[in-house]
Amino acid sequence: MPDISVTALVLLCLAALLAGWIDAVVGGGGLLLLPALLLGVPNVPAAQCLGTNKAVSIVGTTGAALTYVRRARVPVGTAVRVGLAALAGSMGGAFFAAGLSSDVLRPVILVVLLCVAAFVLLRPSFGTGPAPEGPVRRARVVTAVVLVGGGLGLYDGLIGPGTGTFLVLALTAVLHLDLVTASATAKVVNVCTNAGALAMFAYQGNVMWRLAVLMAVFNLAGGMLGARMALRRGAEFVRGVLLVVVFSLVAKLAFDQWA
């Protein structure tokens, strides 16, 4: 583990706790965790921060996914299919990322996020109805695998920020899930994509394992707490957190683009 002051270590652990909570409720925990690592451990290559971020977040995401699966009706089979498609899509996105400028993509994503925020604000009933009973129609599953899994996986590989949040919104719209069930399903998908990314970072030697293990304990606690709160407080609570995360994404991408 690199030399880190006690203060920085404490702040990193607190960031991991809060990021786990945010990620479990609506996705987007990486918005907090990755910048915290880049600031807290400034003298290591960025790739090591990225790899450590994946090693930390996969623990919290797995804990949240297990909490959801135990306590709610989660379409696990559908989630795994979407997750495998997202894994393939993210690998393709990473392959093409070298030839694309994120400066070109950021304004597009900003517009999409603002449209998402307007939609959620103007449609207060979005994602608040009960999830449909019985198995999900095959056509919807295929659409989710191709568009949600492959499309958002490709986005994750190309640019990344907000993938978890987009997953929640897309699963709600395509599969007609309520926001809580969509968050739960997104966690299973996230486990699949994080596992693939972590395997690649570990193979390259870009994970600070001792730091990751310590932060992962806090991330796991935050993830399980966030999942329990989402289940207990329902879709309206998730909707409120969703709007906060969307506007935070807009602010971050705007800062990256023009600061």
Tens of pLDDT, residue by residue over 201-215, are: 888 888 899 999 999
Q: Which residues have CB under 8 Å from 41's CB, separation 6+?
A: 2, 4, 8, 12, 48, 49, 52, 208, 211
Q: Which pTM does this prediction carry? A: 0.77
Question: Does pLDDT of 24 surpass 70?
Answer: yes
3-state SS, residue 41: coil
Distance CA 174, CA 163 (A): 16
Q: Given pLDDT bands bounded at 50, 70 and 90, which one contains residue 21?
A: very high
pLDDT tens for 70-92 read 887 778 888 888 888 888 887 77
Give the pLDDT confidence score for residue 161 in this predicted structure.
60
Average confidence (pLDDT) over 87-99: 70
* C-alpha distance from residue 252 to each of 109, 216, 220, 255 (Å): 11, 24, 25, 5
